[in-house]
């Protein structure tokens, strides 16, 4: 009998590859952080002996969710300025609050709060875009969570950097520091076409090619953004980015709510990825990303929550449900964005977009054991005919019981194992009192 680190026996397993497959009474074998085998449970019990064995007789086991776009530290601004349009929300409330409060302590505490929430929602990897990316990376490593850390770039000064050149220089230092770390991946993260000028974007194109890093950027988020770009430059933002060489297979364009058919076809031909953030877009009335049309054109579409300041949660189960329902009404087709498709968008598609498709996002031998277990034996999810449909349309994040990243159990029976939830809560309360008293 072979001795391994972990055996997980589950009522159902959705490996994502192949699409729409659901295995019953199967077991996942984990050794040295990676998936060693996936086979029927009776065979697993006969072949393997494990140091740790888990019986999940009422659960669906899936790859951990990949939150392909968020601003983790902004969890400390959750609910600060709700029910406002995007540019008023940003320019009159969020940016002033950030200039007053953001520092290393803010980013550390906000990122820990976000990771605690994401782990309790079944997320094992997040793609961040915020100031002090070095602090966010350190926080992720310290708790064992997988993260793509955005090397943010802006034209204007903030507490992190004075100008685009300094943003890039400091970002490259973060990249160099974490190069080779199995949990940390880096991407260039120019904020948006309206906050980054041509010269730094051209520089990022050169660096991205040299270092083989992706480019993560808000693009075509609102109609106002597109109209102002045309007024100022004579071009729609995507056209400008195309002329600068950014529209390429390493691009992650976030939001993309304002698209023509010609733009969809051109973006598909360029091989770029799209990150759909349906709940943030709905809350800010930014528009609707045509996710079904993008998928039909062959574009890889991932899911993200955006930040908790505009969502107001980091719940990928809720994001899947919203994406599925919104996709149906937007395309006038009840068969659009079915449950299995949005589950793939929330897992493997996100990993592919981040350049991690060969490492995580599906339950395939050799990949990291990044896993989430959801208990479906609840009043709210019975009777059960299709576990994936039940996950997307009926379950809640409170049903996520256990989470592993690289084989390490970070959530055990709803309890965080590497983060101090009580301490995080106390610090969140302290920030709330500090920010509110000076609002």
Give the pLDDT of the chain (439 residues) as one tens digit per residue.
Answer: 799 999 999 999 999 999 899 999 999 999 999 999 999 999 999 999 999 999 999 999 999 999 999 999 999 999 998 998 888 888 899 989 999 999 999 999 999 999 999 999 999 999 999 999 999 999 999 999 999 999 999 999 999 999 999 999 999 999 999 999 999 999 999 999 999 999 999 999 999 999 999 999 999 999 999 999 999 999 999 999 999 999 999 999 999 999 999 999 999 999 999 999 999 999 999 999 999 999 999 999 999 999 999 999 999 999 999 999 999 999 999 999 999 999 999 999 999 999 999 999 999 999 999 999 999 999 999 999 999 999 999 999 999 999 999 999 999 999 999 999 999 999 999 999 999 877 5
Report the DSSP pairing between strands 146-153 and 184-190.
parallel
pLDDT of 439 reads: 58
pTM for the full model? 0.97
Nearest to 339 by CA among 293, 385, 403: 385
For tokens 């949005």, the residue is 342
Specify the domain boundaries for CATH 2.30.40.10 within the chain: 2-63+367-406
Beta strands in 256-308 (DSSP E): 273-276, 300-303
Distance CA 190, CA 246 (A): 11
Specify the domain boundaries for CATH 3.20.20.140 within the chain: 65-353
Look up the CATH architecture of domain 65-353.
Answer: Alpha-Beta Barrel (3.20)
Look up the CATH architecture of domain 2-63+367-406.
Answer: Roll (2.30)
Give Cβ neighbours of residue 173 (< 8 Å, ≥ 6 apart).
134
Q: Whats the size of the chain, residue-wise?
A: 439
Contact present, 353 and 68 (Cβ < 8 Å): yes
Contact present, 60 and 391 (Cβ < 8 Å): yes
Distance CA 126, CA 134 (A): 15
Beta strands in 333-429 (DSSP E): 371-375, 400-405, 408-412, 415-416
Which 3 state secondary structure label does DSSP give 359?
A: coil
Contact present, 281 and 255 (Cβ < 8 Å): yes
State the DSSP H helix or E strand holding residue 345, giving kind and residue range, or none if neither. helix 339-345
């Amino acid at each position: 009998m072979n001795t391994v680190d972990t055996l997980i026996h589950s009522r159902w397993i959705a490996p994502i590859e192949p699409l729409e497959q659901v295995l019953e009474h199967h077991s996942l074998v984990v050794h040295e952080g990676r998936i060693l085998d996936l086979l029927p449970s009776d065979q697993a019990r006969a072949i393997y002996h494990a140091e740790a064995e888990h019986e999940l007789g009422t659960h669906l086991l899936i790859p951990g969710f990949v939150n392909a776009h968020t601003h983790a530290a902004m969890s400390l601004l959750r609910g600060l300025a709700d029910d406002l349009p995007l540019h008023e929300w940003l320019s009159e409330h969020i940016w002033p609050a950030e200039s007053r409060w953001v520092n290393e302590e803010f980013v550390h505490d906000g990122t820990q709060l976000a990771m605690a929430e994401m782990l309790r929602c079944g997320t094992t990897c997040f793609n961040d875009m915020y100031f002090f990316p070095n602090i966010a990376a350190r926080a992720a490593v310290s708790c064992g969570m997988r993260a793509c850390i955005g090397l943010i770039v802006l034209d204007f000064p903030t507490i992190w950097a004075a100008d685009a050149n300094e943003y890039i220089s400091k970002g490259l230092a973060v990249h160099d520091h974490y190069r080779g770390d199995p949990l940390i991946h880096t991407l260039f993260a120019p904020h948006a076409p309206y906050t980054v000028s041509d010269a730094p974007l051209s520089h990022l194109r050169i660096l991205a090619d040299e270092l083989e890093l992706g480019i993560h950027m808000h693009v075509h988020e609102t109609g106002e953004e597109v109209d102002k770009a045309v007024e100022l430059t004579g071009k729609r933002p995507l056209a400008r980015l195309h002329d600068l060489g950014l529209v390429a297979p390493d691009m992650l364009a976030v939001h993309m709510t304002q698209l023509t058919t010609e733009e969809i076809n051109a973006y598909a031909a360029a091989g770029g990825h799209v990150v759909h953030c349906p709940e943030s877009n709905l809350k800010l009335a930014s528009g609707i990303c045509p996710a079904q049309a993008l998928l039909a054109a062959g574009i890889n579409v991932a899911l993200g929550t955006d930040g908790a300041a505009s969502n107001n949660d980091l719940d990928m189960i809720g994001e899947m449900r919203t994406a599925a329902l919104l996709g149906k009404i937007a395309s006038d087709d009840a068969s659009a964005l079915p449950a299995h498709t949005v589950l793939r968008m929330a897992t493997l598609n996100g990993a592919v977009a981040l350049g991690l498709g060969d490492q995580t996002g599906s339950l395939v031998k050799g990949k990291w054991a990044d896993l989430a277990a959801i208990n479906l034996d609840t009043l709210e999810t019975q009777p059960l005919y299709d576990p994936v449909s039940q996950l997307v349309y009926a379950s809640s994040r409170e049903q996520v019981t256990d989470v592993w990243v690289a084989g390490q159990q970070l959530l055990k029976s709803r309890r965080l194992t590497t983060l101090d939830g009580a301490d995080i809560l106390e610090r969140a309360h302290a920030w709330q009192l500090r920010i509110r008293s000076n609002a």
